[in-house]
Amino acid sequence: MATAVIGSSGYKGRWNHLYKVLSKPGPFSDEDWVPGQGTINTLESSKILVIGAGGLGCEILKNLALSGFKDIHVIDMDTIDISNLNRQFLFRQADIGKPKAEVAAAFVEKRVKGVNITPYVGKIQDKDEDYYMQFKIIICGLDSIEARRWINSTLVGMVDFENPESLKPLIDGGTEGFKGQARVILPTLSSCIECQLDMHAPRPAVPLCTIATIPRQPQHCIEWAHQIAWQEKRKDDTFDSDDMEHISWVYNEALQRAQHFHIHGVTFQMTQGVVKNIIPAIASTNAVIAASTTSEVLKIATSCNPYLDNYMMYAGEEGVYTYTFEAEKKEDCPVCGNLARKMDVDANMTLGEFIESLGEKAEAQLKKPSLRTEERTLYQRFPPQLEEHTRPNLRLKLGELVENGQEIAVSDPAYTIDFRYRLHFK
Amino acid sequence: MADSFPATISGPTSKERKYDRQLRLWAATGQQALEDARVLLVNSDGPLGSSSTGVTGVAGVEALKNLVLPGIGGFTIVDPATVTEADLGVNFFLEEESLGKSRADETCRLLRELNPDVQGYSYSKSISDLLTDPDFLSRHKLVIISGPTKRSTLEPLCQKAQELEIPVLYVHSLGFCATFSLQLPTEFPIVETHPDPESTQDLRLLNPWPELAAAAESLGDLEAMDDHQHGHVPYTLLLLRFLSQWKQTHGAMPDNYKEKSAFREFVRSNARTKNAEGGEENFDEAVAAVLKTISPFSLRSSIREIFEMQQCQQLTTNSADFWVIASAIRTFYNAHGVLPLPGSLPDMKAQSADYVALQNIYKAKARKDVEEVTATIRQLESQLGRTTTILDREVEVFCKNAAHIKVVRGRGIAQTNEDTDAVTLKALRSGLAMPESLASIFIACQIIDAVVDEIQSKPAQNQLSVDDEGLWVAQKERILALLTRDDPTPLDEEAQESIDNAIQEIRRAEGGELHNIASLAGGLVAQESLKVLTRQYVPLDNTCVFDGARSRSEMYRF
Amino acid sequence: MLKIWSMKQQQQQAENAEGGGKKKKKVTAAQLRVQRDLQELTLGNTMKMTFPNPDDILNFTLSIEPDEGMYKGGLFNFTFAVNQNFPHDPPKVKCTQKIYHPNIDLEGNVCLNILREDWKPVLNLNAVIVGMQFLFLEPNASDPLNKEAAEDLRSNRDAFKRNVRASMAGGTVRRVAYERVLR
């Protein structure tokens, strides 16, 4: 309990600075906010999930522990590599090869007394909604767009309108070289990762034919060695970008090809960069972005100041430039633009009858729908082979095809957006 | 130059592997500059009033963390404070066992753990005591000072640093607010500014040198080419060819937007469309490049300014290498009307051999230009009687970046007191006039500096708290009066309110730091330190304010 | 209660209300998009799709039987693998047969701009399929994956046609044995 922590003499004064700020209103804090012990109790009882224990994750864990949070969980599937040591400050030479989540959690727990950090070594996809439901706020320091999209759609899907606690604010940070961004996402309420997907410029790709026949740049030679020569000459080995022998082989092949075409500039460093899609990363940028995200976590958890609404970008190549703005929520966002509606159905109704009933619904006359659950294609009108395959389902009862409470997704050519329904059996 | 390729594969060293992600930003030269640098952190300077042991200095320690990790040569922490319970709640580089010990020693010990390549030194003394050793400051390449600090400490320190041309960063991290200023030497030149690669292209399409013009001529009859050849002519050669045709029929090169648009259509009309793809990529590239690349060379005003600076016009035996090279490049510009060719060629649709041949034409010209500049430099060196020779590599890098070099005219640490110049006060006033301005946070930090100055310099007041209402009211009045010193128009209501808000937000913390904001400020300060130490990218000029309550920042030149 | 959490309660309509109970897995954004794309396909009679596992619509094969052009009479199979990052990432397409074609190499890699450098999330599976079909009507010699085939096409169109026929029948062209792909 929070009171016990403050009361015990040994800790008195430790959180002096933080508690001062939490015990007085500021000019921008909400008028309804009540500073003081209640706020401090809320802070200490807020369970926080950190996704990623890398460059941002190490900073985030430190910052949360020193923001007075007591119960922190961290997920990361990676192990520590030598190239992490220039910024991931919770790791040492001797930790190379160990799981990041475990080493980071142990280090911060040892350094900051009274904080509990629970590591999980694995993928975010290993965990289900029950797991994510236990947290108050989720904070991401990831380098993968795919993982971001997954957690985003999971959190959007978890929002239950009768249970405000099911809304999990998602705070996301990302960096590249001297640049980065921090954003606050309130699933279903504000612009989500999917709404903002076009802000992630896809990596410019070189035409395969250029790589195959008319290379001009050292990178083209490396791509050739990586994508074409490997396939031809080492078909039976699975390429592993962390295997030095594999990288050396690609480097060597690229070098020979470059020599053949009189192209200069293939280096080992460039080979690694191209093959592993390496993004430059430094401690200071991570510090700026991680602290932006954890500052928002503190503000959301305690209401001591307004939170970011909803995007701050940072660029440090020329002076210190930030831009704070509100990214827009997209009406046709495939994740948060069409939330699942609840629909009461008779489990004994056949799929065919159900589809007919969709066509008669006043709000959306779905005349030619195709529909599925996550696991199963229920009925797909086109192409013909799938239609044939799924036609027998039309005669099956809903109870035989879906579980009570399961979500189905419906597309109809008459609508540009798709629909989701959660079926509840009467 | 013949092709030369390494015969054997040598993988990266363990140092290269450790620093791989940052070497991609500042390369081996930047790394070397870091490793040659020792950074001084002045992290506290005595108690801030009755109930305080001094500035907590977390922003400074966090900044050092971000410099130790990428491998600066070493650091020195000067901090007379001892570790208190409150330090442990905000500073990650202290532990239970640190309680009651020297904060300088303890933070130094725990920071050193981050990187065995970095030397760390600590002094549990006041910086004023250390400055009595005339060699102390000169052992450092950069100074970071954690505020608030009294004037009698700050000013002599900044002044000595300025004499030694050592850059200084002065940082405040107070509750949800942070601000920092960068003091640079009066001229701080940067060669490798890392501009956007697109803006560095110089293709010389309107004034090709003979070899380039010859390459366009040697294409022969475009009409006679088969589809494959026609679709693979590099777009720069296409443009050169069409430009010379245009000149013959129109008497001059396309000049304004209208003519360029017409020229673009002319290029487009020459593409073949009756092929499998229904068009030609190289022509698409040429069309897209018309507006971007067909402009006569013009010297950027910032470069012209550099050429006109006294340092460039009047070299001495002791002039910095930068000015000697800049002067030689000015001579080059005066002779040719252009800067040395950077020599890079963007990727474009072309056959491998044709592209490489074209690239070699650009590279050869760039090399020739470097040779010409180098010859001028050697002449200057001997005329000036210089004993050292500027490295070829330096000249080459300079020529490559000539169009984007920068000289920051450094200013002192921004302050608001009786000695503040009119320019700074004017900048502050106009900052405050902007809606939602963050200049008020800077002012509130100036007030706390004045409050601390009162407490620390006047024995009668050293029992007062840093949050003493009377001191705040008095110092606020003093600084507001300063703001109207040169411009008697009173501050408008919005500006007044903005200042009051900033004061309220800062006083909330009573001089203390929040870890998040200290860490963010430490990140920004380290970022600027890296740019200053590597002399790459462009540093802050000269003040940054961050508002953690509203998640925004602003830059000011004070 | 904190502002955000209470705000949520006020804002939402009761019609969407839903009782407790454990939630099941959601249809993913990639699945939903493929469901829609499939429904909007125009296959004509020269193309057929097969789904090894009809419940998995992210993995399928496309068979093309050109009814005109040099590849008429052949039956060409391609595997499509769509990942969960679709449509941010393009589908991965490979030819399962060893064929003689300037834009398809012996490993089955396909050179089609919209599968790589020109892919955009607004493009759909139909655009890809149309592009694939076009490759058999108008093989493109200018930027090849199979250099020999492209040289043949460029230098001697008739010889190229003969080679196509021979390769489709399972013959050897320039010392490479091709797979029989005739129906």
Question: Residue C18: its pLDDT value, please?
Answer: 43
Banded model confidence at residue C6, pLDDT cuts 50, 70, 90 = low
Say how far apart CA A36 and CA A43 lie, in whole Å: 11
DSSP for residue B84: -
A-chain residue closest to C141, CA distance: A209
- Beta-carbon contacts of B460 under 8 Å, excluding residues fewer than 6 positions away, are none
C140 vs B232: CB contact, 8 Å cut-off?
A: no
Name the band, by pLDDT with cuts 50, 70 and 90, for residue B109: very high
- DSSP percent split of chain A into helix, strand, coil, nearest 5: 40, 20, 40
Split at pLDDT 50, 70, 90, the class of A1 is very low
Say what angle helices B515-534 and A283-302 make with each other, to 10 degrees: 160
In a domain, C20, yes or no: no
**Which residues in chain B are contacts of C142 at CB distance < 8 A?**
227-228, 231-232, 275-277
B276 touches chain A (CB under 8 A): no
State the pLDDT at residue B6: 47
Task: Report the SS3 class of residue C167.
Answer: helix
**How many structural domains does chain C have?**
1
The nearest alpha carbon in chain B to A81 belongs to B18
Output the average pLDDT for chain C.
87
Q: With beta carbons under 8 A apart, name residues in chain A contacting C36.
A: 370, 411, 418
Is the pLDDT at C21 greater than 50? The verdict is no
Report the alpha-carbon distance of residue B548 to residue A296 in Å, rounded: 9
One-letter amino acid for residue A326 of the chain: E
Question: How many CB pairs (< 8 A) connect A and C?
Answer: 200
Q: How many B×C Cβ pairs under 8 Å? A: 15
How far C165 CA sits from the closest chain A CA (Å)?
Answer: 24
- A282 touches B: beta carbon within 8 Å: yes
Angstroms from A11 CA to nearest CA on chain B: 7
The mean per-residue pLDDT over the stretch B528-554 comes to 97
Amino acid C10: pLDDT: 52
Band (pLDDT 50/70/90 cuts) for residue B4 is: very low
Given this structure, which CATH class describes domain A208-275?
Answer: mainly alpha
Between A264 and A415, residue with greater pLDDT: A264
Q: Which residue in this structure is represented by tokens 């056949």?
A: A350
Q: Is the pLDDT of residue A167 over 60?
A: yes
Range of lowest pLDDT (A16-30, A43-57, A349-363):
A349-363
- pLDDT (tens digit, 9 = 90+) per residue, A118-166? 999 999 999 999 999 999 999 999 998 889 999 999 999 899 888 889 9
Tell me the helices (H) and strands (E) count for chain C, helix number first: 5, 6
Q: What pLDDT is stored for residue B487 in this prediction?
A: 86
The per-residue pLDDT for B463 is 83
Decide if pLDDT at B111 tops 90.
yes
Checking if the pLDDT of B3 tops 50, the result is no
Residue in C11, C31, C105 nearest the CB of A212? C105
Is the predicted pLDDT of residue B278 greater than 90, yes or no? no
pLDDT at C2 over 60: no
Contact by Cβ (8 Å): A342, C16: yes
Specify the pLDDT at position B415.
86
- Is the pLDDT at C9 greater than 70? The verdict is no
Distance from CA of C135 to the nearest CA of A (A): 14
Distance from CA of A291 to the nearest CA of B (A): 5
Q: Is residue C182 part of a domain?
A: no
> Which residue of chain C has the CA closest to B226?
C154
Nearest CA in chain B to A30: B549
Residue B8 has pLDDT above 70, yes or no: no
Q: Closest chain B residue to C143 measured between Cα atoms? A: B228
Q: Are B277 and B252 in contact (CB under 8 A)?
A: no
Q: What rounded mean pLDDT belongs to chain A?
A: 92
Does C16 fall in a domain?
A: no
Q: At the topology level of CATH, where does A46-200+281-325 sit?
A: Rossmann fold (3.40.50)
On the question of pLDDT at A346 being above 90, the answer is: yes
Question: What chains are in contact with C, requiring at least 3 Cβ pairs below 8 Å?
Answer: A, B
DSSP string, B90-144: T-TT--GGGTTSBHHHHHHHHHHTT-TT-EEEEE-S-HHHHTTSTTTGGG-SEEE
Q: List CB contacts (< 8 A) between A280 and chain B.
A: 21-22, 24-25
* Distance (Å, whole) CA B70 – CA A177: 13
Q: Quick: pLDDT tens for B203-248.
A: 999 999 999 999 999 999 999 999 889 999 999 999 999 999 999 9
CB contact, 8 Å: B101 with chain A?
Answer: no
Q: Which residues of B501-534 are buried (b: 16+ CB within 10 A; e: fewer)?
A: bbbebbbbbbbbbbbbbbbbbbbbbbbbbbbbbb
Q: Which residues of B touch A259 (CB under 8 A)?
A: 3, 5
At A238-253, the pLDDT tens digits run 999 989 899 999 999 9
Superfamily covering domain B14-190+514-556? NAD(P)-binding Rossmann-like Domain (3.40.50.720)
Task: Using the predicted structure, report yes or no on whether residue B7 has a pLDDT greater than 50.
Answer: no
Least reliable range by pLDDT among B2-11, B146-155, B375-384, B489-498: B2-11
C6, C10, C18: best to mutate for the A interface, most A CBs within 10 A: C18
Contact C142 B226 (CB under 8 A): no
Find the residue in A nearest to B196 (Cα). A317
Task: Find chain A residues with C-beta within 8 A of C54's C-beta.
Answer: 377, 380, 386, 389-390
CATH for A341-425? 3.10.290.20
Identify all chain A residues contacting C8, using CB atoms and an 8 Å cutoff.
Answer: 159, 161, 164, 167, 186, 189
CATH value at residue C77: 3.10.110.10
pLDDT (0 to 100) of residue B374: 98
pTM: 0.91
CATH 3.10.290.20 location in chain A:
341-425
Q: How would you class C162 by CB atoms within 10 Å of its CB: exposed for 0-12, middle for 13-18, buried for 19 or more?
A: middle
Q: Which segments of B251-351 does DSSP mark as H helices, in order? A: 257-269, 281-293, 301-308, 310-313, 321-336
Residues of A identified as active-site: 209
User: Which pLDDT band holds residue B2 (cuts at 50, 70, 90)?
Assistant: very low
Within-domain flag for C113: yes
Determine the pLDDT at residue A417. Answer: 80
ipTM of the complex as predicted: 0.95
Q: Is residue C45 part of a domain?
A: yes
Helix (H, G, I), strand (E, B) or coil at B218: coil
Beta-carbon separation of B515 and A290 below 8 A = no
Domain edges within chain B: 14-190+514-556, 203-293, 301-408, 422-507
Question: Is B89 close to A66, i.e. CB distance below 8 A?
Answer: yes
Look at B501 and A27 and tell me if their CB atoms are within 8 Å: yes
Predicted local confidence at residue A317, as pLDDT? 96
**Mean predicted confidence (pLDDT) in C124-133:** 94
**Strand, helix or coil at A116?**
strand
- Can you tell me the mean pLDDT for B431-450? 94
Which run of H or E residues covers position C63?
Answer: strand C59-64
Confidence category of residue A112, pLDDT binned at 50, 70, 90: very high
Are the beta carbons of C123 and A202 closer than 8 angstroms? Answer: no
